[in-house]
Amino acid sequence: MTTTPYWVAGQPATSEDLVEIRTPHDGALAGRTSNATAEDVERAVAAAHAVAGDFADLPAHARATALDHVSRRLAERADEVAALITAESGKPVKWSRIEVTRAVSTFRWAAEEARRFSGELQRLDTDPAANGRLALVRRAPRGPVLGIAPFNFPLNLVAHKVAPALAVGAPIVVKPAPATPLVALLLGELLAETDLPAGSWSVLPVPNEVAGGLAEDPRLPVVSFTGSGPVGYSILDRVPRKHVVLELGGNAAAVVCPDWTDLDRAAQRIATFSMYQGGQSCISVQRVYAHEDVYPALAEAVVAHVRKLGTGDPTDPATDVGPLINEAAARRVETWVDEAVAAGARLLTGGRREGATYEPTVLADVPADCKVVDEEVFGPVVVLDSVPSVEEAFDRVNASRFGLQAGLFTHDVRLAFRAAKRLAVGGVIVGDVPSFRADQMPYGGVKESGTGREGVRAAMEDLTEQRVLVLTDLEL
C-alpha cells in the first residue's frame, strides 16, 4: 500500500514515522500516512507567516476560483471521498455521502462569500462635529490560522476551518484528528490543484501532544478548535492573548410540546438523530423532554423507530448506525448506561456492546445526576423524560452546563419566540431536532459549548478584524 503524503506549504511530503489507519468496524486497513516531522511543521508555520501579507492582498476572484475548484472536484470524486470517510471513521456510507454533499456546499458558499466580503459604509454626519465625514469599515485577516479538527466529521469540519480562512486570505495550518487524517489529506490533494500561493495552506498529521506547541506558536495568532471541552479550554488557557474559536460539545435536548400533533414524525426524527453516526455528533439528540400529555405515545414511537434502525457494516447503504470510533469509546458508553440503570433508569431498548459497536439505546426515568444526562455521551443513547409543562422543559434544558442547540416541536410561533429568548443555547430549531445545521448559518454554542461561531460567513468574520478608513470633507 502506498503512503498518503501530508502537505507542507502546498507540497507533498512523507516521513519515516508511518501511521496505519484502520476502520473501527473490523480493523481492516483503511490507509497509511506518516506523521509530519518537526522540520516540516516548522516549514509549514514559517511559510504561513511569510505569505500572510501577500495572501491577504490576493484578489477576491483568485481566492474564490480556488474555492470553486475544490467544491467542484469534491463533487466529481464524491463516491471515492465518501468511501474513504467510511473506511477511516466507521461512519455509515449513507451519512458519509451526506457529509461530502455538505462539504461541496461549504466550499461553494465560501467562494460566493469571498466575492462579496466587502465591508460597509457609515455616514458620520449624524453628529454636527462630523459633517462631511464618511467611514469605510472593512475586515482584514487576524493572521495565519491553526485549524484543529475532530474525527466525527473528518471532511466537513476540516472544510469549516479551511474554506473561511482561504476566503478571507488567511493562511491556515490544518491538524486533522489522528484517527481520521486521510480525508483531510485528500482535500490537500485538491487544494494542490489550485493556484493558491505556497504557504497559504498545509495539512499536517501530528500526534495530539504536538498540537500544544503549534497552538503556542506566535506566528499562528488564531486557533480554531473543534473537539472536546477539556482540550479546548486547555488551549484557551495556554494562549489567553490569542484569538481562539472553540466549537465544543453538548448534550442537546429536544422539547415536544402538547400542541404537536404528528408524534410519529417527532419520534422518527428523534430516533434517527440520536443514533446517526453512532451518536458521535455534538448536536445529536441526547435528552428529550416531552409534555406529559404526549409522552406515553411519543416514548412508544421512539422505541419503535429506534428498533427499526439498521446496524452493522458501515459500507452497506442500509446501515443507519455503525461503530464508534474505537472500542474504548464504546466501552465508556457501556459503562455510563450501566451506571444509569444501576441508579434506577429503565432500559427501553438496546444496552448491549459488541467490540466498537454499541446498540442503539433508549433510557427513561434517568436520575438527573447520571452521566448520560449530565455529560456528553457521544454515543447512540437517548434519554426520555416526561414534564408537566413547557416551562419545566425549558428549565431542564437550561440545567445543563452545555448550550449548543435545542429542538422545539411546536406549531405555536409565540412559544417559539419565547424559547429563543429563554433557552441558553446557540440555536433553537423549531419543528425539528437540534441536530439540524445548514452550513451557511452561524453555528456555535454558549456556556461550555464554546466561543465564537462557525458557518462560512460567521467564521469569516471571526477570522478577521475591523479596519476603519474615515474620509473627510465629502459632500454627502
Catalytic residues: 247, 282
Nearest one of 396, 353, 332, 369 to 361, comparing CA atoms? 353
Helix axes 182-191, 60-76, angle to 10 degrees: 130
C-alpha dihedral sign at 128, 133, 139, 140: negative
Question: Biggest alpha carbon distance in the chain?
Answer: 76
How many CA atoms within 13 Å lie on the side-chain side of 322? 28
In angstroms, the first-to-last Cα distance of the chain is: 68
How many CB atoms are located within 10 Å of the residue 307 CB? Answer: 13
Q: Vertex 404, ends 398 and 409: CA angle to 5°?
A: 70
Q: Which three cell numbers mark 160?
A: 469549516
